[in-house]
């Protein structure tokens, strides 16, 4: 084997090892990113589960009971009307204090 072919072989081996090290480093980075993704997805699933439990009907009923909200005694059906006709102003049975929008 000549000196020139030995140098070429050494350079080829060095490039191959360098390339293998770059690929291995990239694979480690990909593994770390995948692990972080799984951790973030797990945390997200826990948060979704927690929020879903908070909005369950039983939780809503419990919260409503704590606020002294009860089922209505009667329900008044609002009649349907055409959207083309202007509606009259509503009539209130009591009075409400008038406050300006800017002072609210």
Q: How many CB atoms lie within 10 A of CB 100?
A: 6
Answer for the pair 87, 81: CB distance below 8 angstroms, yes or no. yes
Residue 84 pLDDT grade (very low, low, confident, very high; cuts 50, 70, 90): confident
State the Cα–Cα distance between residues 72 and 64, nearest whole angstrom: 13
d(CA 55, CA 63): 10
Share of the chain above pLDDT 90, in %: 30
> Which residues are CB-contacts of 53 (< 8 A; sequence separation ≥ 6)?
59
Alpha carbon distance 49, 71 (integer Å): 28
Which residue carries 């990909």 as its tokens? 30
Asked whether the predicted pLDDT for residue 1 surpasses 70, the reply is no
pLDDT, tens digit (0-9, with 9 covering 90-100), for 37-83 = 999 999 999 999 988 888 888 888 888 888 888 887 888 888 887 88
pLDDT for position 45:
95
CA 60/CA 69 separation, integer angstroms: 11
Can you tell me the distance from the alpha carbon of 19 to that of 28, in angstroms, rounded to the nearest whole number? Answer: 14
């Amino acid at each position: 084997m000549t000196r020139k072919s030995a140098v070429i072989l050494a350079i080829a081996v060095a490039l191959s090892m360098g390339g293998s090290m770059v690929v291995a480093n990239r694979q480690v980075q990909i593994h770390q990113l995948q692990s972080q993704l799984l951790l973030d997805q797990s945390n997200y699933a826990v948060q979704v589960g927690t929020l879903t439990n908070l909005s369950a009907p039983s939780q809503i009923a419990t919260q409503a009971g704590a606020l002294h909200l009860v089922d209505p005694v009667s329900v008044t059906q609002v009649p349907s009307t055409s959207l083309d006709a202007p509606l009259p102003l509503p009539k209130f049975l009591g009075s409400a204090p008038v406050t300006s929008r800017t002072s609210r």
